[in-house]
Amino acid sequence: MTEDTPFRPDARAPRGFADKRAAQLRAERGIVEAVSAVYERWGFEPLDTGAFEYADALGKFLPDSDRPNEGVFALQDDDEQWMALRYDLTAPLARFAAQNWETLPKPYRRYAFGPVWRNEKPGPGRFREFIQCDADTVGSARPEADAEIIAMAAEGLEAAGLPRGTSVLKINNRKLLNGLLTTAGVESAGQKLAVLRAVDKLDRLGADGVKLLLGEGRLDESGAFTKGAGLQAKAAEQVLAFLSAGRADNAATLAALSDIVGGSEEGAQGVEEVAKIAAALKALGVGEDRAGIDPSIVRGLEYYTGAVFEAELLLQTTDEKGQPVRFGSIGGGGRYDDLVARFTGQATPATGFSFGVSRLAAALKAAGREEAGAARGPVVVIAFDQDSMGEYFAVAAELRGAGIAAEVYLGSSGMKAQMKYADRRNAPAAIMLGGDEIAAGTATIKDLDLGRALAAKIEGHDAYKSERPGQQTVPRAELVARVKAIVDAVS
């Protein structure tokens, strides 16, 4: 490049930041709107906090160096305080609750949705910016508050597009896990963490793999060795018995868990809390096929203090090449009674559920549950000549006034290119107003939906064609009604 050559940057998006077009945006918007309606019906109010929080308020990623950018995107304000883009919606809630506690109704029930940012290495399906949707209750220590969040999450997932039976919420309690560690004689913090991490790998490695990680360690297929928790054989068997304590129904599972961890005070508390959650779910009409106890669920090793729950997708999912792919968890949450206390020094119970909107949209697509076809475009009014632009805009305005999306073509191409443009916009119809139509007080409508249907050879297309002419010239006064019929036929 010479000095006279202007600099032209590469047109590229930063790694981990995705561009989204209409179809994806509409799918995500539909999920948020459907779930928000459920949450508000349950009495939760919306809350929107700013994109930035002070770095020391985030908790999970406290600064270890002069620049606190470990895990978050941070910058220094003009008062030399470090701010960071929020990495989730829960830390801002804790800050907001602590800041406004005196004026809030207690318990405080809120839901929120919006983008979050994580300064982590991006990869397939792993983004640095994504949309989350949360619902939380702050100020209630009752297990029924956990049950309500679980029941509401189940209803929200159904509203988002997962019919009953296609997902399940699995419930556990950190107190059960702590009771297990006590009865197994695990005392050191490092060994406890190693055990919990081994338990968390049950889905991926199976019982045999977890058993190795509970003992001396495991050699994986690549030859890499993972050091184990170093449990004695008897203690390892207790952990495995806990993981396999799931039974045909919640009552039997609770009885099995009680036998394993009931000798520990904290374990007994966990059994009691989970029993109350199960009873409340039954009263709320949530069957065990929608939410059941699963001792293998481990979340947020240093975050959750009581109940934990995880939503699992049960549908078969495939990637873009048609190959099976496992989505597993599509959301989760639990009780976090220590988060607000970081600000106030006073214990404030809280519980909530969160899911990634983009991840759920991707799961619906992989399961074939997304809305068929591309995002619907506007009706396109073809522009034949400059002198008639007023007529074209008048038609577009009439259509919009009737609630139909419409636009006038404002490029400089001819008729053929304009029709190709309308097809690329996935327009349901194109409106043609040439000089003859304007003089006669008529308009010609080309049914593009019909053309796409015939091209796809949809079932019953012969009858479809006979009932809907591909092109029709109608009185101007009937234009809106005829176009609306075309739009409504596919909506």
High-pLDDT (> 70) share of the chain, %: 93
Q: What is the pLDDT of residues 324-338, one digit of tens each?
A: 777 778 999 999 999
Return the pLDDT at 335. Answer: 96
Measured distance CA(200)–CA(293) in Å, rounded: 16
Q: What is the pLDDT of residues 379-413, one digit of tens each?
A: 999 999 999 999 999 999 999 999 999 999 999 99
Return the pLDDT at 372. Answer: 46
What is the architecture of the domain spanning 22-178+243-250+263-366?
Answer: 2-Layer Sandwich (3.30)
Question: In whole numbers, what is the pLDDT of the chain averaged over residues?
Answer: 90
Whether the predicted pLDDT of 463 surpasses 60:
no
- Give the residue with greater pLDDT, 358 vs 2: 358
High-pLDDT (> 90) share of the chain, %: 72
pLDDT bracket for residue 446 (50, 70, 90): very high
- Give the residue with greater pLDDT, 470 vs 70: 470
Q: Where are the domains of the chain?
A: 22-178+243-250+263-366, 379-490
The class level of CATH for 379-490 reads alpha beta
